[in-house]
Structure 1
Amino acid sequence: MDIISGQKPGASEQHPIARNVSRRNFLRFAGITGASAAIIITGCGKDETDEMDGGVNLGSGDIGVLNYAYALEQLEAAFYTRVAEMPYNNISPLERQYFEEIRDHEIAHRELFKKALANNAIRNLEVDFSAVNFSNRESVLATAKAFEDLGVSAYNGAGKLLTNPDYLLLAGKIVSVEARHAALVRDLIANGSFADNTIVDANGLDRSLNPMEVLAAAAPFVKTRINASNLPTN
């Protein structure tokens, strides 16, 4: 991934969210990070970026933040749709139900943002789940955990960037659902890990990440180039 400086992170520079995935599973993810130039942060305008590299510009202000959230919801909805279509080997009826319900939530979130953004919505992103073994429970759960923890951190970090209180209220309602997903997935992996100290600090607060950190962590799973240079920073 090339973010501003043009440097590609190596295995020693793994993102904190990525480290939440079990080491064995993340080796597969890390192996494609260097080759996956999925997100380019540039100073180009929307039209220039779209024309030059087929990417999308999230925009600025509240519209940019909503498009940022919309991009993440597209990624999650695509992942859980794939899980529901290709359930892993020996999946239990209860776990199948869990993933179908999460899929429906993520699709609803995606469509909420699409409707709110109307003509300002970015186009559909092209995803890349080649690092995920959808027939293997461990691989699916590790990816789901990474996505859910990342989603919660993303909303926590983006809330302060919104100026419209209605949008902030919407984000608050969605992040609470994402946190429920994260807790469920974590407990499917290891019972009682739903709120351990890897995500909740000594003050009882969940992790918060800024958009550049989140997009960098999501990059191995997104083929579409995303220009987030116009997003607000405070």
Structure 2
Amino acid sequence: MKNELIKPKGLVTNTNRRNFLKFGTMSVAGAGLLLMGCNDDEDMMPPTMNEGVKLGSGDIGILNYAYALEQLEAAFYATVMTGGYFANASAEEKTIMGDLEKHERAHREFFKAALGEAAIADLEVDFSSIDFNDRASVLGAAKTFEDLGVAAYNGAGQFIENVDYLLIAGKIVSVEARHAAAIRDLINPGSDDFAGDDLIDSNGLERTLNFTEVLTAASTYVTTPIDFSQLPTS
């Protein structure tokens, strides 16, 4: 199916969750230096459009795709930090959510710096459907974003041509998977939901989603139209 313009729609325990998350942040700074040194053969300027953003083509388009998702996640966690849920959360949950916010902000800034002039503009978001004063609403949204992020990286990996970019994507998706597991454990402590059957198939492989599926889901919260028509389809 041809990519189209997406427009907005209206195994961790309580005592070691943070350590589980902490190891996922290593090497991002070094990876950033690697990525910034590997752009010589890329068309670095994505096309412009009068309304919204165009992701562009090739590896740069895919990196902008990842950047768009990291913008969404970073904006979400920044808003979480200002809401009533976070203000009244347990010390453990405050620590976890604070860590996730820092990770997603680091991912966003990493892509922004690495892409340079090829980076898409800042996206406008709408979180009006999320009650940031309510724990269930916040954690449910966090689960949606983290699961979506993992599936997005998994789906895009096959199209990345530069092996250095692929290595970096692998580092980042491993962090996103840690996030997803931690959030699922907060929602249903001590269960097997951290690697539930809704995510992991009978071969022990996590699900993938294509560009259309991911950006359609994200359009619930992103008000900026995103044109990904130049991304690969097969």
Q: TM-score range by the shorter chain?
A: 0.7 to 0.9
Aligned mates of 1:229, 1:107 — CA distance in 2:
27
1:10-89 map, 5 Å: 35-36=9-10, 46-47=47-48, 50-51=49-50, 54-88=51-85
Aligned mates of 1:4, 1:218 — CA distance in 2:
14
Aligned mates of 1:103, 1:155 — CA distance in 2:
19
* Cross-structure match for 1:129: 127
1:138-149 map, 5 Å: 138-149=136-147
Aligned mates of 1:5, 1:92 — CA distance in 2:
42
1:154–1:211 contact (8 Å) kept in structure 2: yes
Deviation per CA, 1:29-56, whole angstroms, max 9, x where unpaired? xxxx8x52xxxxxxxx933xx22xx210
Q: Which runs of 5+ in 1 are unaligned?
A: 9-32, 37-44
* TM-score normalized by the length of structure 2: 0.79
CA-based RMSD: 1.9
1:67–1:122 contact (8 Å) kept in structure 2: yes
Aligned mates of 1:142, 1:123 — CA distance in 2:
28
* Cross-structure match for 2:174: 176
The CA deviation at 1:4 is 4.8
Deviation per CA, 1:45-74, whole angstroms, max 9, x where unpaired? 933xx22xx210000000000000000000
Deviation per CA, 1:137-183, whole angstroms, max 9, x where unpaired? 00000000000000000000000110001100000000000000000
Report the number of matched residues: 194
Aligned mates of 1:102, 1:5 — CA distance in 2:
30
Matching residue's letter, 1:190? N
Secondary structure of the equivalent of 1:46? coil
Aligned mates of 1:112, 1:148 — CA distance in 2:
18
Aligned mates of 2:84, 2:70 — CA distance in 1:
20
Q: Which runs of 5+ in 2 are unaligned?
A: 11-45
The CA deviation at 1:80 is 0.4
Between the two structures, name the one with larger relative contact order (CA 8 Å, sep ≥ 6). 2
* Cross-structure match for 1:15: none
The CA deviation at 1:90 is 3.0
Is it true that 1:223 corresponds to 2:215 in the alignment?
no
> Following TM superposition, where does structure 1 have runs of at least 4 consecutive aligned residues deviating by more than 4 angstroms?
3-6
* Cross-structure match for 1:12: none
Aligned mates of 2:88, 2:167 — CA distance in 1:
40
Aligned mates of 1:176, 1:91 — CA distance in 2:
26
Secondary structure of the equivalent of 1:138? helix
* Cross-structure match for 2:214: 214
Does the C-alpha gap of structure 1 residues 168 and 186 become closer, same or farther in structure 2, counting only changes over 3 Å?
same
Deviation per CA, 1:113-148, whole angstroms, max 9, x where unpaired? 111111000000000000000000000000000000
